[in-house]
Chain A
Amino acid sequence: MAGRIDFHTIVRKTHLVSSMVLLLFLLMYVFSGVILINRVKFQVPEQVVEQKMVAITEPMDGAPDVYANKLARELDLKGRTVYRKDGDENWIFNYNFPGTRVTVTLRPEQDSLQIYTVHQERTFFTTVQQMHVLRGFRGGWPYTVWAIFYDTSCLALVLFAVTGILLWFRIRQKYPYGWIFLMLGISVPLLFSYLYLLWR
Chain B
Amino acid sequence: MKWSRFLPKLHVYGGLLCTGFLIMVGFSGYVHQHHPKFVQHEGRKTSWEQRIQTPGIEDRLLYKQAIRDSLGLFGHTPWWEDYKDSTGVSHFMIARPGKEYWVTEPVTGDLFLVDEHRTGLLNVLNQLHPLGAGMQGHGNGPGFIALWKWVSLALGIIAIMVLCISVYYWFTWSVKKKHWWYYIIGAALIPVTLFILIWLVG
Contacts and interface: CB of A to CB of B under 8 A. Distances in A.
A40 to B, nearest CB: 10
Contacts of A56: none
A154 B20 contact: no
A142 B197 contact: yes
Contacts of A36: 133
A127 B199 contact: yes
B39 interface: no
Contacts of A146: 191, 194, 198
Interface stretch (A58-66, A106-114, A185-193): A185-193
Given A78-B202, A151-B33, A175 B187 contact: no
A79 B199 CA distance: 10
Contacts of B194: 142, 145-146, 149
B67 interface: no
Interface string A145-172: 1110111011111101110110010000
Classify the interface of chain A: helix, strand, loop or mixed.
helix
B126 to A, nearest CB: 9
Nearest to B148: A192
Contacts of A192: 128, 144, 148, 151
Contact of B16 (A20, A124, A185, A189): A185
B12 interface: yes
Given A22-B163, A26-B163, A30-B160, A142 B16 contact: no
Instruction: Give the interface residue-count category, chain B.
Output: 35 or more
A184 interface: yes
Interface string B78-117: 0000000000000000001110000000000000000000
Contacts of A143: 198
Given A135-B32, A165-B16, A196-B98, A26 B160 contact: yes
Q: Classify the interface of chain B: helix, strand, loop or mixed.
A: helix
A127 B26 CA distance: 23
> How many residues of A sit at the interface, in one of the four size bands?
35 or more
Contacts of B7: none
A124 B195 CA distance: 11
B121 A197 contact: yes
Contact of B133 (A37, A147, A150): A37
A5 interface: no
Contact of A161 (B23, B98, B167): B23
Given A22-B163, A153-B29, 16 more contacts: A19-B170, A36-B133, A37-B136, A78-B201, A135-B33, A142-B194, A146-B194, A146-B198, A151-B30, A157-B22, A160-B163, A161-B26, A162-B23, A168-B15, A185-B20, A189-B125
Interface of A: 15-16, 19-20, 22-28, 30, 33, 36-37, 78-79, 97-98, 124, 127, 131, 133, 135-136, 142-143, 145-147, 149-151, 153-158, 160-162, 164-165, 168, 175, 177-178, 181-182, 184-190, 192-197, 199
Q: Which 4 A-B pairs have the closest CB atoms?
A: A157-B26, A19-B166, A154-B29, A181-B16
19 contacts: A15-B166, A16-B166, A19-B163, A19-B167, A20-B170, A26-B159, A98-B202, A124-B199, A157-B26, A158-B23, A161-B20, A164-B19, A168-B12, A168-B16, A178-B12, A181-B16, A188-B151, A197-B121, A199-B142
